[in-house]
Amino acid sequence: MRRQLLSVAATAAGICSLLALKPHHPAVPPVAVAPTGPGSSGTSSGGPVSGTYTGDSVDTRYGPVQVRVTLSGGRITKAVAVRTPSENERDREIAGYAVPMLTSETLTAQSAQIDTVSGATYTSEGYIRSLQSALDQAHG
């Protein structure tokens, strides 16, 4: 009887744990990097967007994050974090490992629909919001 009770309790705990897991959804909806037509800040022929755009500075719990992107032919060719939390050594350490991962994902995804970096949630969310702002600027 004791084994059955223990087995039922362990099974119930396992099911509850699985139900508590939430699927990952990015904090920012995706944006396609494509021309928006007349009046866009891309090429004069209405072709793909090109240029360098600096996103808004996003205040996070640990300091501001700001991203600058370079677009060429409608593709993100470069992403640079121009501001990251840096008030103390731990902030600099987190930004030091998170920003390269976020930049790599940006270049792969070609949008702001990227995953946050574990252990750097606030920096990641600030990066994603600033990146989205820069991409929005590219589209007028």
Amino acid at 36: T
Give the Cα separation of 107 and 24 in Å (integer).
Answer: 20
SS3 content of the chain, % helix, strand, coil (to 5): 40, 20, 40
Q: Is the pLDDT of residue 108 over 50?
A: yes
Going from N- to C-terminal start, the domains of the chain cover 28-138
Q: What is the pLDDT of residue 40?
A: 36
28-138: what fold? Sufe protein. Chain: A (3.90.1010)
> What would the mean pLDDT of 34-57 be, rounded to a whole number?
61
Tokens of 36: 């928006």
pLDDT confidence band for 47 (50 / 70 / 90): low
Q: What is the pLDDT of residue 135?
A: 94
